[in-house]
Amino acid sequence: MTFLDMLRDASAQNNSMLCVGLDPEPTRFPAALKGDARKIYDFCAAIVDATADLACSFKPQIAYFAAHGAEDQLERLMQHMRANAPHVPVILDAKRGDIGSTAEQYAKEAFERYGADAVTLSPFMGFDSIAPYLAYHGKGAFLLCRTSNPGGDDLQIQRLSSVEGEPLLYEHVARLAQGPWNRNGQLGLVVGATYPQEIERVRGIAPTLPLLIPGVGAQGGDAVATVRAGLREGGPIIVNSSRSILYASGGEDFASAARTEAERTRAVLEAARP
């Protein structure tokens, strides 16, 4: 089954455009787990179990595991998601980008070591840095396009005067992803909920690509404006929320509080459907 098939089925089964982000930070764990990086798996598995019927996808951010030397716990978590939420695709947020030979190793890490269904990538080094991921047929690859952070302006809204029509850099990325780079239909784009107008612009350029949209919740992005700007027939959106779900409660009830916040966010997104 391809990533896109899984996404469509999970979205329908769970009636959801919500991606639950897994950014485990031990200092924010409840008292029984607090500060203990060996408990990353336990914390994340509890969140997965509490939200598996509410999410269209899960998105572990690899830095939160690697920073603690917890890659083995990420492997166990991936196996846990496969066993306990087999219908929910997993997007590994790794934002990789390197020359082809190194990209081959990163692709192997994402798809063979961790068994991810999709990965996030930086397009900055060009198509040959993306191609190794596309060799894994059916896997998804989301290119950073118009990111949610303020510093994205430094490059992404600069005008490319050498390209016909003088698009902005993020618009050029969207065109490449919708067109010549999307050789096997595996590409999607990352656009931030903090910039709904740009989501709409990207959707105009890339009408059929799945959009991975972080930035609601802790970053203050507008969930309703995001859905209206990005969701189209044949153009799915995946709206990520991490910290506001993971840390909805700092107490022992963290998993049930995460479920309540995921339910609330899912409902807001569904109510905004055009």
Ligand X SMILES: O=c1ccn([C@@H]2O[C@H](COP(=O)(O)O)[C@@H](O)[C@H]2O)c(=O)[nH]1
- Give me the residues that bind ligand X (CB under 6 A), please: 21, 23, 61, 93, 147-148, 190, 192, 214-215, 217-219, 240-243
**Which of residues 78 and 162 has its CB atom nearest to ligand X in the complex?**
78
What whole-number distance in Å separates Cα of residue 239 and Cα of residue 221?
Answer: 11
**Which of residues 9 and 46 has its CB atom nearest to ligand X in the complex?**
46
Q: Which of the residues 59, 95, 108, 139 is marked catalytic?
A: 95
Give the N- to C-terminal CA distance of the chain in Å, as an integer: 29
**Which of residues 2 and 219 has its CB atom nearest to ligand X in the complex?**
219
Beta bridge partners of 119: 92, 141
Distance from the Cα of residue 26 to its chain's centroid? 21
Q: How far is CA 250 from CA 18, 26, 39, 73, in A?
A: 22, 11, 15, 22
- Concerning whether 95 is annotated as a catalytic residue, the answer is yes
**Which of residues 134 and 245 has its CB atom nearest to ligand X in the complex?**
245
The SS3 assignment for 140 reads: strand
Minimum CB separation of residue 28 from ligand X in Å reads 11
**Which of residues 215 and 236 has its CB atom nearest to ligand X in the complex?**
215
Minimum CB separation of residue 118 from ligand X in Å reads 13
Residue of 119, 139, 133, 130 whose CA lies nearest to 173: 130
User: Order of strands across the sheet with 187-191?
Assistant: 57-60, 18-22, 237-241, 211-214, 187-191, 140-146, 118-121, 91-96
Q: Among positive and negative, which fits the CA dihedral 184, 185, 190, 195? A: positive
Minimum CB separation of residue 175 from ligand X in Å reads 19
Determine which helix (DSSP H) or strand (DSSP E) holds 121, and give its type and residue range.
Answer: strand 118-121
Minimum CB separation of residue 85 from ligand X in Å reads 19
Give the burial class of 116: count Cβ atoms within 10 A of its Cβ; 0-12 exposed, 13-18 middle, 19 or more buried. buried
Minimum CB separation of residue 208 from ligand X in Å reads 21
The strand pair at 187-191 and 57-60 is best described as unpaired
Angle between helices 196-205 and 223-230 (to 10 degrees): 10
**Which of residues 41 and 64 has its CB atom nearest to ligand X in the complex?**
64
Minimum CB separation of residue 181 from ligand X in Å reads 19
Catalytic positions: 95
